[in-house]
Structure 1
Amino acid sequence: MGLTACKNKCHTFEKEAKPTAYEKGGCYCNNCDYYFKERFLRCPCCNTRTRYSNRSNRTRRDAEVVRM
């Protein structure tokens, strides 16, 4: 993925390891390829939406699933 919108401001925030990022409440920016320790709705660097859960819900408990 190209880093066209990445402004390298991600490194001012604390990074998390890939396997434990979602379990500890972190998020991932697909554009910057960076796992944040905190949960952001949008990346503070490039302002794209972050992913803050696994792609599948198979390992999630019923209490963790948010319904609208």
Structure 2
Amino acid sequence: MVQAKAWILTKHFDGFPKDSDFELKVEELPEAKDGEVLLQALFLSIDPYMRFRMKEGDVMIGTQVAKHINQLFLY
């Protein structure tokens, strides 16, 4: 099994964010199915304007640069 990690906004903040404003959620991913790929995020970009669009408990969304880890093909 592979673990996936997601940053969750735990509370809105004013000014600069603090570590306590976020929580790292870890979950197990199921095995890849035919034609699915597994990617590892290398760099994340979260724009400042996103803070006004998010609700507490939401996963932080943004863009990323990712590396291809595994691909499963079933014949």
TM-score, reference length from structure 1: 0.25
- TM-score, normalised to structure 2, is 0.24
Q: Which of the two has greater strand per residue? A: 2
Q: Which has the higher contact order (CA 8 A, sep 6+)?
A: 2
| Structure holding more helix per residue | 2
